[in-house]
């Protein structure tokens, strides 16, 4: 179990009522933000302390890993400078009866603040730049002690949370597909090709097949059992990128699922990356070796560019490890 602190001054009601966390992927200037990147580290069973208007007002239990998701429409005018696509995690929140003000307890809490990426200043004031920050276990324990007995049932419940799958990716892509279908500025044949590319078929598959001959992971060569999978996902790509054969790999359906959802990725030199979020027994059943390093071979220069996007914007990973975590 890990512990997180989320600042929800702008979106508390929407996120607590909706049962989720949502953040942009990057700052308005496109710079990486460690407090947004933290979303990629959350795992089912983690506890999330909600900070709003100077108080801890709720505790959430994470129910999923994060996934790409459009900015919630219920945010309205909140975060007008945020990107329209970000990270989302399902969280079941319980609002607290005893809402403590951390600033009143800094004599105890200040020595326990993390030295880097702290959610609070040493004087107890919040930091506007923080969205989601990890808390040291001891800090979280003291915080729960200050809140009182109502935290214990939440801690117990969190230990048995089964992961919930992302449930809006297909719906989101389907809406985008409808937009392409209705865009008369795109020639009809191109529209058809772009729409078919979403499911790895048509012109996109033909172009990928000119570069790739088999599943990089399982070695399956029979085209009947292969899917043309986008490195830079269809939902993130331009229409040109959606049809670019070098934005694709041929994968078996189960491996395609893992790649598209960020549970696996690839380094430029062909080494397989296994996300810390991946369930290794499931990966083994899908034909992925998790007990030894795997190298699937080299990529073209353009494939490497698309794979870089996948590593930085799709792959689920821990910031405490390198992009190539220990296998096993």
Tell me the three-class secondary structure of 133-174, residue by residue: EEECHHHHHHHHHHHCHHHHHHHHHHCCCCCCCCCCHHHHHH
User: Which pLDDT score is estimated for 135?
Assistant: 95
Band (pLDDT 50/70/90 cuts) for residue 325 is very low
Q: Are 35 and 117 in contact (CB under 8 A)?
A: yes
Band (pLDDT 50/70/90 cuts) for residue 321 is very low
The token pair at 232 is: 């830079």
Q: Are 1 and 45 in contact (CB under 8 A)?
A: yes
Mean pLDDT of 54-68: 94
Mean pLDDT of 156-178: 85
In percent, the amount of the chain with pLDDT more than 90 equals 69
- pLDDT tens-digit series, residues 94-135: 999 999 999 999 999 999 999 889 999 888 888 888 899 999
- 256 exposure class (CB count in 10 Å sphere: 0-12, 13-18, 19+): buried
Which segment, 68-77, 102-111, 283-292, is predicted with the most confidence on average?
A: 102-111
Q: Is the pLDDT of residue 318 over 80?
A: no
Length of the chain measured in residues: 328
Q: 18 or 291, which is more confident?
A: 18
- 55 exposure class (CB count in 10 Å sphere: 0-12, 13-18, 19+): middle
- pLDDT tens-digit series, residues 195-226: 999 999 999 999 999 999 999 999 999 999 99
CA distance 42 to 158: 13
- State pTM to two decimals: 0.80
Q: Is the pLDDT of residue 320 over 80?
A: no
Q: Is the pLDDT of residue 191 over 50?
A: yes
Q: 279 or 150, which is more confident?
A: 150
Q: How many CB atoms within 10 Å of residue 189?
A: 9
Residue with structure tokens 């073209």?
Answer: 300
User: Which pLDDT score is estimated for 129?
Assistant: 83
Burial readout 59-68 (b: 16 or more C-beta within 10 A, e: otherwise): bbbbbbbbbb
Q: Is the pLDDT of residue 260 over 50?
A: yes
CA distance 233 to 142: 42
What are the domain boundaries of the chain?
3-158, 169-313
What CATH number has the domain spanning 3-158? Answer: 3.10.590.10
Do β-strands 47-52 and 3-7 pair in parallel, antiparallel, or remain unpaired? parallel
CA distance 76 to 83: 13
Q: Is the pLDDT of residue 167 over 80?
A: no
User: Which pLDDT score is estimated for 279?
Assistant: 84
Mean pLDDT of 71-99: 90
Q: Is the pLDDT of residue 328 over 70?
A: no
């Amino acid at each position: 179990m890990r512990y997180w602190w989320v600042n929800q001054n702008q979106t508390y009601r929407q996120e607590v009522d909706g049962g989720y966390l949502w953040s942009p992927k990057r700052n308005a200037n496109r710079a990486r933000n460690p407090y947004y990147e933290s979303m990629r580290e959350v795992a089912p069973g983690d506890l999330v302390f909600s900070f709003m208007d100077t108080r801890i007002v709720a505790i959430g239990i994470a129910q999923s890993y994060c996934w790409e998701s459009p900015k919630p429409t219920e945010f309205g005018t909140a975060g007008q400078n945020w990107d329209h696509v970000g990270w989302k995690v399902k969280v079941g929140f319980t609002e607290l009866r005893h809402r403590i003000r951390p600033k009143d307890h800094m004599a105890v809490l200040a020595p326990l603040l993390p030295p880097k990426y702290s959610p609070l200043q040493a004087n107890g004031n919040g930091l506007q730049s923080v969205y989601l920050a990890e808390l040291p276990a001891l800090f979280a324990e003291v915080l729960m002690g200050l809140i009182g007995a109502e935290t214990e049932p939440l801690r117990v419940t969190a230990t048995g949370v089964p992961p919930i799958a992302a449930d809006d990716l297909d719906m989101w892509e389907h809406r985008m597909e409808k937009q392409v279908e209705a865009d008369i500025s795109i020639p009809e044949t191109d529209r058809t090709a772009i729409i078919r590319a979403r499911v790895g078929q048509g012109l996109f598959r033909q172009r990928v097949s000119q570069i790739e001959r088999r599943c990089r992971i399982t070695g399956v060569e029979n085209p009947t059992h292969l899917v043309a999978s986008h490195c830079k996902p269809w939902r993130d790509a331009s229409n040109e990128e959606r049809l670019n054969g070098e934005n694709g790999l041929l994968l078996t359906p189960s491996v395609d699922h893992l790649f598209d959802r960020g549970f696996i990725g690839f380094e430029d030199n062909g080494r397989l990356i296994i996300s810390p979020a991946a369930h290794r027994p499931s990966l083994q059943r899908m034909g992925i070796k998790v007990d030894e390093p795997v190298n699937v071979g080299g990529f073209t220069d353009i494939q490497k560019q698309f794979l870089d996007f996948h590593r930085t914007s799709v792959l689920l990973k821990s910031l405490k490890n390198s992009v190539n975590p220990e296998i096993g």
